[in-house]
Amino acid sequence: MGNIFLSVENLNVTIGGVQVLKQINLIIRSGEQWALTGPSGSGKTVLARTLCGQHFFTGKIQASFGEPETLFKQIFLVEQQHRFRNLENRQDFYYQQRFNSFDSELSLTVEEELSQFSSTAGLRPGLPGIEAVADLLQIGHLLKEPLIQLSNGENKRLQLVKALLLKKRLLIMDQPFIGLDEEGRGILFSVLAKLGSTGVMILLITTPHEIPPYITHIAALEKGSIKKSVPRDYFIKSLPAVAGPLPHIPIGEMNGISNPEKIDFVYAVRMQRVNIEYGEKRVLHDLNWEVRQGEKWSVSGPNGAGKSTLLSLITADHPQAYANEIFLFDRRRGTGESIWDIKKRIGYVSPELHLYFESSSTAFQAVASGLFDTIGLFRRLSMEQEELVLRWMKVLGLESVGEKILSRLSTGEQRMVLLARALVKNPPLLILDEPCQGLDEAHTAFFRYLIDWYCGQYNTTLIYVSHFEAEVPSCVGHFLRLENGRMVTGPGKGH
């Protein structure tokens, strides 16, 4: 048994008057590699941030690598989400800016970000230089790209490059596989295993079924307390061999939701030879795609393939839509319709929308904003609208968090709020871009089942993006795969 590397004794954390962590006790010994798991809202991220000194706590945190006043400097956390600063050192980008070539000039490039980072950080000895590590995680070709134009998965890879380069004693990675394509997850599995073999301690926050082989111990949280902390083999054997019963859909509440506004259209989306370029870089190449009313589509492809750009053309967030032959709901873009005419027919959620959403909103306000397609609620609701919002919150199990500030909720709870926002107006077209990011397995299964029921009930047109084939609802019958901005498969199995 190795020496104690890190110990947590009787740790308690209260945020906003609510006790989030209760009597946490954990001992990590030298040579061990730990994973932290648990359902959404169990306190995993709060514990990670507390270990980095970001939350006030009672109890003790002790480590072999420093006194209490210095040990936090030896711990680095890779968050689930990360917001960059612009050239004016501000974080006030909004999510549409990544598609605007002028606004991207306000953003640092990947190379500039890493250069600033390396000049102030103690880099880990024995590792190759920044460019080599960037190549290892396959973002070397992005060094000249503006940060704001990175895809969600490319952004995650950049944060991992920083984590691998840092000379820190403990790396905490909060859901590092989220947003990465299959190849990216495999690369990270390999890199973390090599890093662990060099003596670097890693604390990995992940799901029970995505625990890398090099992890030796697992701690499971539930409602702010450690339910069990056991060796890996014991934990794996204790996992249920079969899936649980089908999730319960509150049909009574769903039946109270009115049918969508009747809109006659043949094609929700029709694109003909669409090309999107930023300077000399072409993101989409001669794309031809049609989505008929009532069809359910899966869109897949590796990080940086052009998926987010494709969706931005549909959601009226991309200025180059006007320079292409794009029809939405049988009307060509640029023929007099406003962006609000388009958005009112679309329910939408994405990692970028989540990242840039107004975090000071309450959960209720965030859901209600979906009625008006705004990022935040800026008008009073009618009694009928308020009842509709409350009904959707009940359907998604959010009735107890309605008055809580969005930023005070767990990442999984925030995502459920934004999913309710996408559904609240019962739109004819639903666009769900990685909708289950940050959700635990139970909530993912529930949402997948809900979408199957919902789309069948209302004949909703669906565009669903995911790196995980198992997350795609069973109602999906059409498949589009992008690689390097090109359509490589049409209808048929394309994952």
Number of other residues whose CB lies within 10 A of the CB of residue 469:
12
- Residue 327: predicted pLDDT: 95
pLDDT of the chain along its 495 residues, tens only? Answer: 579 999 999 999 999 888 999 999 999 998 899 999 999 889 999 999 999 999 999 999 999 887 767 888 888 888 876 665 544 444 444 444 445 544 455 678 888 888 766 555 555 555 556 777 788 777 888 888 888 777 767 877 787 787 777 778 888 989 888 878 888 888 888 877 777 777 778 899 998 888 888 899 999 999 999 999 999 999 988 887 655 666 677 767 777 676 666 788 999 999 999 999 887 788 999 999 999 999 999 999 998 899 989 999 999 888 888 889 999 999 999 888 888 999 999 999 998 888 888 888 999 999 999 999 988 888 899 999 999 999 999 999 999 999 999 988 888 899 999 999 999 999 999 999 999 988 888 889 899 999 999 998 889 999 999 988 889 999 999 999 999 999 987 544 444
Q: Is 126 left (phi over 0), alpha (psi -120 to 50) or beta?
A: left
- Residue 275: predicted pLDDT: 94
Cα torsion 122, 125, 128, 130 to 10°: value is: 0
Which domains does the chain carry?
4-238 (3.40.50.300), 251-489 (3.40.50.300)
Nearest in space to 456 (alpha carbons), one of 471, 477, 470: 477
Angle formed by the axes of helices 411-423 and 383-395, nearest 10°: 130
- Residue 123: predicted pLDDT: 53
Q: Which residue has the tokens 């995993």?
A: 44
Written as one letter, the residue type at 413 is E
pTM to 2 decimals? 0.84
Angle formed at CA 350 by CA 347 and CA 352, multiple of 5 degrees: 130
Tell the burial category of 38 from Cβ atoms under 10 Å away from its Cβ (0-12, 13-18, 19+).
buried
Tell the burial category of 248 from Cβ atoms under 10 Å away from its Cβ (0-12, 13-18, 19+).
exposed
Q: Where are the alpha helices (DSSP H) in 78-129?
A: 110-120
- Residue 226: predicted pLDDT: 96
